[in-house]
Structure 1
Amino acid sequence: MSLAPDDARLDGWIPARLHVDGEVPRVDWCHLGDRRFTDPFFDETLERRLRHPFALLFRHQTSLETLVARQAARPGLPVKGLVFHMSRCGSTLLAQLLASLPRHIVLSEASPVDVVLRLHLRLRHVTDEQRIEWLRAVVAALGQRRHLEEDGVFLKLDAWHVLELPLLQRAFPGVPWLFLYRDPVEVMASHQKHRGAHMLPGVLEPARVGLESGQLSELSLEEYGARVLARLCDAGLRAYRERKGPARLLNYRQLQDSAVSQLVDLFGLQPTPTEAGLLASAAARDAKNPVLPFADDTEDKARTVSNTSRTMAERWVREVYDSLEAERLRDAARG
């Protein structure tokens, strides 16, 4: 059944999945109702909703053009902040802090956003202008007000999306952003235990991480991962040096001391006393398992990291990490 862009039957529905049918991008919609995005990750909220018989059994599907046209009728709430990161460095905690305030819609690594950002790799005729238009439409549909207190949207991007930071700035001009990073040895230790998708050769286009396709088979997993991390950190550093609007570098070691104040300052949150309590409570919890208290795992990672992972981190990532730190500390000294 074809639905018009302003069809009220799409109210309460979100673009849950984007896929390509032949050469045509299509949108699968899921009924979200009044459920908020409070889980650590977007897909967890979606999975919870799909356990409901109605959301599981009833679906809508439209073209991507319908989604774009719908934005004109229902533009959604404004995007108020972007969170970039090098992975395994505390970005989920930042997302949970922002999501602890009921007035925020926090899209944490939303798969429809990732699909839009990577559509040009599947459909070579797709231009940056089209990706920007589609990105705005997807975020507008995900950022519809479903509760009266909601007033803005925050995007916590996937780690590799920092490579698209200039395009995201064009899509959401003037929106404050931050890049979160951590000592590369500790990040490598985390991926050593359970590798993220972007740390596996072939998931990202080799050219995006400064490699030739023929090089992939020559690299160990540790060297490949370290070179990916270096590329992500370099992208964050270059964007920060070229910034024209509000932006901030944030080290994992700052999270327990000043994560809340950093977010309040950069994004202009102005929390009420009640909201300040919600932020403090969220900061004290484990971001990925909120029933547990936060525990600093720095010593554990230093103890368990392999010699190979440590060597690759020092060889490929340490220099850009030190540059990030120098930039951050220099700006902090300037006040």
Structure 2
Amino acid sequence: DSPAPRLFFKIQSIGTHSLPLVTAAFPAVPWIFVYRDPTHVMMSHLARGKASNALCARTRNRAGSFPQIGEVLREAGAAAGGLSATEYCAVHLGAICRSAVEEHKRGEGQGGSRGRFVNYVGLVKSLVEEVFPNHFRLELTEEMKENVWKVSGMYSKGRDSGRAGEFKDDSKKKEEQASEEVKAAAKKFMMPLYQTMEGFP
């Protein structure tokens, strides 16, 4: 018999809050969480206009649905009522990271997590050299590796918006364009979780 086909799911960021359901349904299936410098993540979400219109600010009216939001606020010594739209965006994104961290720690406490945190910096190299062969247990041919590098040269989020084309690292540009408010919010509500994820093997 031929081996069973491999199936990958790419979940939207808000779906991270449902990780416990996913791991309960598929306890033996490995997963990864791709993370990035908090300021750069903020700029990706705020690039298209005002913070109040950004996706990361739209959960404000149902923040109680996600307990991780309350935890991020508590740890930062802040209250939801006094936050600007930019600050709430950082809280929302921090809560997503917290959900991934919580699920990883829960798995570790039960004998070993199937999760792994992968930094956006050097992502493709990490996938080809470490994540695919050692975490997902995939046997990659040289052609497969070459295809990963080739596909990674395309900006995935641009296919339906006229932005398709060669991928270029925009980290420096995001850092330069970020306002002091964005940097402060990212540092206060997201950086502690970023540092936690950096500390995982």
Indicate the structure (1 or 2) with the bigger Cα radius of gyration: 1
- Aligned identity (percent) is 26
Residue ranges of structure 2 left out of the alignment (5+ in a row): 74-78
Give the equivalent residue in structure 1 for 2:196.
323
2:60–2:88 contact (8 Å) kept in structure 1: no
Q: Which has the higher contact order (CA 8 A, sep 6+)?
A: 2
Per the alignment, do residues 253 and 203 of structure 1 end up closer, same or farther by CA in structure 2, a change over 3 Å counting?
A: farther
Residue ranges of structure 1 left out of the alignment (5+ in a row): 1-147
| 1:299-334 Cα distance to aligned partner (Å, 9 max, x none) | 10001111111111111111111111122xxx2xxx
Q: Are 1:210 and 2:70 counterparts? A: yes
Q: Are 1:258 and 2:116 counterparts? A: no
CA shift for structure 1 position 200? 2.0
2:124–2:149 contact (8 Å) kept in structure 1: no
Out of 38, 46, 66, which is 1:192 matched to?
Answer: 46
TM-score (norm 1): 0.48
CA distance in 2, matches of 1:181, 1:277: 24
TM-score (norm 2): 0.77
Per the alignment, do residues 286 and 269 of structure 1 end up closer, same or farther by CA in structure 2, a change over 3 Å counting?
A: same
CA distance in 2, matches of 1:160, 1:289: 20
CA distance in 1, matches of 2:113, 2:199: 20
Residue correspondence of structure 1 range 1-335 to structure 2 within 5 A: 151-194=5-48, 196-202=54-60, 204-208=62-66, 209-210=69-70, 218-243=82-107, 244-261=112-129, 262-289=131-158, 292-327=165-200, 331=201
Greater shift, 201-210 or 150-159, is seen at 201-210
Give the equivalent residue in structure 2 for 1:89.
none
* TM-align CA RMSD: 2.7
Per the alignment, do residues 187 and 227 of structure 1 end up closer, same or farther by CA in structure 2, a change over 3 Å counting?
A: same
Aligned pair count?
179
Which amino acid is the alignment partner of residue 147 of structure 2? L
Corresponding residue SS for 1:308: helix
1:260–1:283 contact (8 Å) kept in structure 2: no
1:188–1:313 contact (8 Å) kept in structure 2: yes
Greater shift, 277-286 or 227-236, is seen at 277-286
Between structures 1 and 2, the one with greater helix share: 2
